[in-house]
Amino acid sequence: MNKPRLLNRLLLGIKNYPWKFLIGVFIAYSVIWTILEPLLAFFPDFQSGGIFKYTLMVLLSIVVAASRIIPETEVSFHLPGTNTNIQIFFGDLFAQEGDIAIAANEFFDSDMEVIKEFSLHGKFIQKYMPEPEAFTRQVDESLARNNIRSRKVKRTDVRGNLLSRNQRYDIGTTAMINLEGKRFFFFALTRNPNGKGGEANAA
């Protein structure tokens, strides 16, 4: 499992928790000042180096505050009543080795007007298949190889326009795409007809 670099994790933590980081720096500086100031009274030579002292205290405060906001790379826990341990990793899914599973809707849409761009489904298409037809073709070929049945429905978007992707598959249906030496498995896990509202009715 490839883990995000420390710098990337730090930047992500600051981006997600800017105020927590700033408050952490202030609190850490206050604590360090409270502890060091009486101690430094015994070292007059060090007291005279004001700029160095304050710079060091600020840097220490930043390190302490940063350590509180860096996101975890993994979380593990035991499943009660079983002998199973669950491990959850955080990072770039597409940078990982091995097979990758991605949730899709029951129509295996490829149109970015329909798919939410920040979903894994949407990010896959934007990253690997900016031409929607390529995704549709490979998904359809995978489903056809496994004789997966579907049923045609009349499907509209939020504006009432008919959608061309109108073959509905059962929940749990899986399509596989081979790409760049990896296998991507797309699972139909939601009945939301287009990912952004709308409706689908049996034809």
- Domain range summary for the chain, segments of one domain joined by +: 6-69, 93-202
The top-scoring range by mean pLDDT among 135-144, 145-154, 156-165 is 135-144
Q: Give the mean model confidence (pLDDT) for residues 118-136.
A: 90
Provide the residue count of the chain.
203
Residue 123 confidence (pLDDT) above 50: yes
Contacts of residue 143, defined as CB under 8 A and 6 or more positions apart, other chains included, come to: 108, 150, 169, 173, 175
The pLDDT assigned to 145 comes to 92
Alpha-helical runs (H) found in the chain? 6-16, 18-40, 44-48, 50-69, 120-128, 132-145
Vertex 99 angle, CA 175 and 121, to 5°: 55
Measured between alpha carbons, how far is 202 from 166 in angstroms, rounded to an integer? 10
Amino acid at 12: L
Q: Give the mean model confidence (pLDDT) for residues 16-29.
A: 90
The top-scoring range by mean pLDDT among 84-88, 139-143, 164-168 is 139-143
From 196, 43, 8, select the one nearest 119 (Cα to Cα).
196
From 94, 108, 88, 101, select the one nearest 190 (Cα to Cα).
108
Amino acid at 117: E
Please answer whether residues 200 and 168 qualify as being in contact, where contact means their C-beta atoms are separated by less than 8 angstroms.
Answer: yes
Residue 200 confidence (pLDDT) above 60: no
pTM for this model (two decimals): 0.63
Amino acid at 94: F
Residue 2 confidence (pLDDT) above 60: no
The pLDDT assigned to 92 comes to 80
C-alpha of 134 from chain center: 24
Least confident of 47-51, 107-111, 178-182: 47-51
Residue 201 confidence (pLDDT) above 50: no
The pLDDT assigned to 98 comes to 87
Please answer whether residues 96 and 1 qualify as being in contact, where contact means their C-beta atoms are separated by less than 8 angstroms.
Answer: yes
Two tokens at 135?
Answer: 């995704």
Measured between alpha carbons, how far is 203 from 67 in angstroms, rounded to an integer? 57
